[in-house]
A and B are shown apart, each in its own frame.
Chain A
Amino acid sequence: MELQLLWVNPIFVKKVIKRTNIKYNFFTINLINKERECHKEMNKWAWLLVLVVFFTLGSAALAFDPIPADDLKIGFVFVGPVGDGGWSYMHDQGRQAIEKAFPGVTTMYAESVPEGPDCARVMEQFVRNGAKLVFATSFGYMDQVIEVAKKYPDVIFMHCSGYKMADNVGLYFGRMYQARYLSGLVAGSMTKSNIIGFPAAHPIPEVIRMINAFTLGARKANPDAKVKVVWLYSWFDPGKEKEATKALIDAGADVIGMHADSGSTPQTAEESGVYVIGYNNDMSSYAPTKCLTSSVWDWSTTYIDIVKKVVEGTWKPENSWWGMETGIVKLTSFSQDVPGEVRALVQEEQEKIINGTWDVFWGPIKDQNGNEKVAEGQKMSDQDILSFSWFVEGVEGEIPVSQ
């Protein structure tokens, strides 16, 4: 650092240059720079000082104890805010159920973790703070789960809705499509215009599967029903959801389904006097008179079961896709507008599914263009269901095509 500053007044130098038309050169630049740069040099050292102090404090901080170890520590990675009343909220309810069922357990969670490299750090932090079990609750965490799991072979990772397993990575998910199918029955029965609107977040297989199950149910109850899909490209934008719902109502829909995380769709439906079928959580608080039913998650049984296995030492990596019979997905109570025969129909179909005598994606199923994709008597494999990339007959909407 040059403390031997040439205290040349830069203004004077500039005036000299201008008057005598001297072309600036290396020397004059240096002169002017020195005055200016000395401040910037100071600035560099200032930040360096800050850094040094922090480092010292950091190593001093190491002298204190880490978090005291306890029975079992579990980490949860949430993709949205736990207060969203939707996907992450339901997972958090499951987390709280674990705490109630196993009083010695400590749970930690991080919310609104973006899908991508950041979550690897979050998961590592859980492990470094003593977690022996980590739940990653969104598909987009897949790469990072595998990456971190490799580093810590004695920690168990459970990935929700993914498809990659490892010796210490298991998968878990729920067959929400079964509840969707049942709610579709209600929607199909209640529509008079035969047009059902569906604002949907992103064209990913999960959402496509929901729409398909919903449509299959709607058309079982009402073969003329059509489901119109509008893509929002956002999980959580109340304004957009409202406008999408309005657009669908304008296009003739008199029942609205939904696959997004805010209560805006049911609210708009209520305002416009149109029926709505909720998702994730009971949406009747947003649509007191118009919410026919909602297909909701209940992760408590699943989570408690997984933790039990881990505590007992019987955990194995497996892909468990829990069905309706376990209670992981269900329908909320019907609104009073739903007539008796519809309820009976739902009851009947639900029993078939729970008994295992039939499932939603058993043939015959045709696609949007009328081609038969699943023959009568055939069942779609789990793999195919998980990777749905086409719409069933009766859906009006586009899925982006990959090459």
Chain B
Amino acid sequence: MSIYFRINKRTSSSWLLSIFLPFISVLLALIGGSIFLSFLKVSPVQAYRGMFQTAFGDWYGISETIVKAIPLILSGIAVTLAFKATVWNIGAAGQIFLGALATTAAVRYFYVDNRGIMLVIMFLFAGIAGGGWAAIAGYLKARWNVNETITTLMLNYIAIHLADYFIYGPWKDPDSLGFPMTAPFPEAARLPQFAGTRIHYGLFIAIIFAILFWFIFRYTRWGYEIRVIGENPKAAQYAGIYYLRYIVLIMFISGAIAGIAGMGEVSGLQGRLQHGFTAEFGFTAIIVAWLARLNPISVMLVSFLIGALQVGGESLQIVMRLPIASTLVLQGLILFFVLGGEFFRNYRIRFIRGDER
């Protein structure tokens, strides 16, 4: 008597599964990670304990996790917006750079000694710069169907070099002894931080955007139209939605949010634009957006967790003396397991006996 198994697509998923699945996946990933860690001759229990302790155990760890999470939330929302319309914005990193550049330009050329006004100016500059950068790719896609994956990817590199040009050249700080960094921002141009921590007011912006976009996607006609465009452009056109305008608009807003993430990092965290500014979180944001299943509220939670993973991962280096690459391997493993777990959410395995086919 042979046993076959059949794979069926689920039409509705059990809500029990939906709650526990990510949890189980991460657990399995941690177990897989333990095997990996024991290869490195490190006690997995000690390693995980250290990671938890660093990221969640005390207020400093939590605050640093939040600091890490803020740009992830913002760029995660940016990417979520684009992905909902099935526009593959891989260029969040470049848009972040443009936002940081524009913020620096605003401080350099349009400085006003009033914090409130200055922040608004920087906000606008960063948004328009990041949005414009993304809109280039959007326009190319809408008008001539130039694939946006490649344009946004290329624009990333161009943005990085553009930033280098300004940092090494015209905007270099004369007081920095020739090192590639801009002059430090005056107090009025800095996003305030919560006393004692490095959490800056970008957190407010991130939370507001998350709630705002959650509301838009769920309750407004505009959010619905975005989804329709994403799933079926032809149906969208049938229902009277202007495809071209929407793509450019969506890319613009997506880029604007990413640009604001850049502004937050540069004016909230460091206070000047320095060579070495990384926009790596532009790529991590793609993973965040997917893990959060394109839900802005989940984006906040997932960003926090990924931030914790990065902060905790550092303790692997410092306390456990493991090379930093081990964090990367762990991250990769977690993703693989969660991806694998998704299978069980979408499909069901049925075992059938006998020769039934």
Contact = CB atoms under 8 A, between A and B. Distances in A.
Direct contact of A and B (CB under 8 A): yes
A202 B61 CA distance: 35
A229 B328 CA distance: 36
A110 B317 contact: yes
Interface in A117-146: 117, 120-122, 124-126, 128-129, 139-140, 143
B133 interface: no
Contact of B274 (A53, A140, A387): A140
A402 interface: yes
A40 interface: yes
Interface string B8-34: 000001010011111100100000000
A105 interface: no
Contacts of A43: 18, 22, 292-293, 295, 298
A401 B321 contact: no
B295 A67 contact: no
Question: Looking at chain B's contact residues, is the secondary structure mostly helix, strand, loop, or mixed?
Answer: helix
Contact of A61 (B49, B164, B276): B49
A122 B318 CA distance: 8
Contacts of A109: 317-318
Contacts of B305: 47, 50-51, 54
A57 interface: yes
B276 A115 contact: yes
B301 A47 contact: yes
Given A47-B302, A117-B270, A402-B171, A122 B314 contact: yes
A44 B54 contact: no
A47 B22 contact: yes
A124 B60 CA distance: 9
B221 interface: yes
Interface stretch (B123-131, B143-151, B173-181): B173-181
A151 to B, nearest CB: 9
Nearest to A117: B269
A111 B323 contact: yes
Nearest to A120: B198
Interface residues of B, number: 71
Contacts of A205: 177-179
A39 B275 contact: no
Interface in A52-98: 53-55, 57-59, 61-62, 64, 67, 75, 81
A302 B309 CA distance: 36
A100 B170 CA distance: 47
Contacts of A112: 324
A204 B278 contact: no
A362 interface: no
Contacts of A143: 184, 270-272, 274
A233 B308 CA distance: 32
Interface in B42-89: 49, 52-58, 60-61, 64, 67
A333 to B, nearest CB: 32
A388 interface: yes
B204 interface: no
A381 B68 CA distance: 42
A59 B55 CA distance: 10
B333 interface: no
A208 B177 CA distance: 12
A376 to B, nearest CB: 26
A62 B13 contact: no
Contacts of A55: 56
B174 to A, nearest CB: 6
A402 B270 contact: no
B224 A29 contact: yes
A32 B219 CA distance: 11
A310 B52 CA distance: 33
A120 B181 CA distance: 17
Contacts of B116: none
Given A29-B221, A44-B298, A139 B179 contact: yes
B136 interface: no
B188 interface: no
A403 B182 CA distance: 11
A120 B270 CA distance: 10
Contacts of B317: 109-111
A116 B302 contact: no
Contacts of A202: 168, 180, 275
A61 B53 contact: yes
Contacts of B64: 121, 124
Interface in B197-240: 198, 218-219, 221, 224, 239
A163 B64 CA distance: 27
A49 interface: yes
A128 B318 CA distance: 11
Given A40-B295, A62-B57, A115-B276, A108 B178 contact: no
A289 interface: no
B65 to A, nearest CB: 10
A279 B324 CA distance: 26
Contacts of B152: none
A402 B174 contact: yes
A111 to B, nearest CB: 6
B19 A114 contact: no
B353 to A, nearest CB: 32
B274 A115 contact: yes
Q: Which of B21, B53, B315: most chain A CB closer than 10 A?
A: B53
22 contacts: A26-B219, A39-B18, A42-B18, A46-B20, A47-B22, A47-B302, A51-B305, A54-B55, A58-B53, A59-B57, A61-B49, A61-B56, A64-B49, A109-B317, A117-B198, A124-B60, A125-B315, A129-B319, A203-B168, A204-B179, A400-B169, A402-B171
Given A29-B224, A208-B178, 14 more contacts: A37-B218, A43-B292, A51-B301, A57-B52, A61-B57, A116-B270, A117-B265, A122-B318, A140-B181, A143-B272, A202-B180, A205-B178, A400-B165, A402-B170
Considering the complex of A and B, which 3 residue pairs feature the smallest CB-CB distances, nearest first? A58-B56, A42-B18, A115-B276
Interface of A: 24-26, 29-30, 32-33, 37-40, 42-51, 53-55, 57-59, 61-62, 64, 67, 75, 81, 108-112, 114-117, 120-122, 124-126, 128-129, 139-140, 143, 163, 202-205, 208, 233, 386-389, 400-403
Interface of B: 13, 15, 18-23, 26, 49, 52-58, 60-61, 64, 67, 164-165, 168-174, 177-181, 184, 198, 218-219, 221, 224, 239, 265, 269-272, 274-278, 292-293, 295, 297-298, 301-302, 304-305, 308, 311, 314-315, 317-319, 321, 323-324
